[in-house]
């Protein structure tokens, strides 16, 4: 057992641009081998690498109009618009049921989401007429967005719908379905909504998770021009 060799190995991985997550997997395997299999040492005092914290990909309002406008399927268009307009995760939007929408109060009841918690989010007023078409004739427990067989959509299907719309719009950002939620939070903060309300709408336990959006909404930074 040579701790210095282990550190050098991990540094070599970092030099090859191997992600922090993968490097930590290697380190945990090494720890298990030396401590659990060979029983040479009881503990290896090497800390795991910190995960890289990249800024979320944000779509501008104009880009969102382009993406949503590129969708011809009305069900798909509504799903993408609602995910952005309410800040929903892909798992939340595909699991929405008719009874979760309160058009009168303009709210969405998101049930047993991440962390098995319920929360309320806002329902976009401009989508009332569109959503009513999909709610008509359905029971309270029916999925709003269904596949060709009458069941709920899968997360993979929803992501493919977004990917297709993104490609069709010609926008080159490396956005994903989750970028809709990122954009929702960012645009609320840009509109002056208190960060604590944004935290509540997103269902974040820790406000630090919400605070990362302030890094991409800094109006002072955006006003600075390059001296070049």
**Residues with active-site annotation:** 89, 114, 178, 181, 204, 213
Residue 137 CB coordination number (10 Å)? 8
* 148 vs 64: CA distance, rounded Å: 26
User: Which pair of structure tokens corresponds to residue 225?
Assistant: 């021009």
């Amino acid at each position: 057992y040579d701790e210095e060799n282990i550190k050098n190995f991990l540094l070599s991985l970092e030099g090859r641009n191997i992600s922090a997550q993968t490097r930590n997997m290697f380190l945990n395997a090494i720890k298990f081998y030396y401590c659990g299999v060979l029983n040479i040492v009881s503990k290896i005092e090497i800390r795991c690498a910190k995960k890289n914290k990249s800024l979320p990909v944000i779509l501008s309002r104009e880009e969102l109009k382009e993406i949503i406008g590129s969708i011809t399927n009305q069900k798909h268009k509504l799903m993408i618009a609602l995910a952005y307009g309410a800040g929903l995760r892909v798992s939340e939007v595909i699991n929405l049921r008719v009874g979760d929408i309160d058009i009168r109060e303009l709210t969405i009841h998101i049930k047993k989401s991440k962390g098995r918690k319920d929360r309320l989010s806002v329902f976009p007023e401009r989508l009332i007429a569109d959503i009513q078409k999909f709610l008509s004739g359905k029971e309270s427990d029916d999925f709003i967005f269904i596949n060709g067989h009458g069941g709920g959509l899968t997360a993979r299907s929803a992501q493919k719908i977004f990917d297709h719309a993104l490609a069709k719009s010609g926008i080159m950002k490396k956005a994903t379905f989750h970028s809709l939620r990122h954009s929702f939070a960012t645009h609320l903060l840009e509109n002056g909504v208190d960060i604590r309300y944004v935290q509540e709408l997103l269902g974040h336990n820790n406000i630090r998770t919400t605070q990362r959006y302030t890094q991409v909404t800094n109006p002072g930074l955006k006003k600075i021009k390059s001296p070049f």
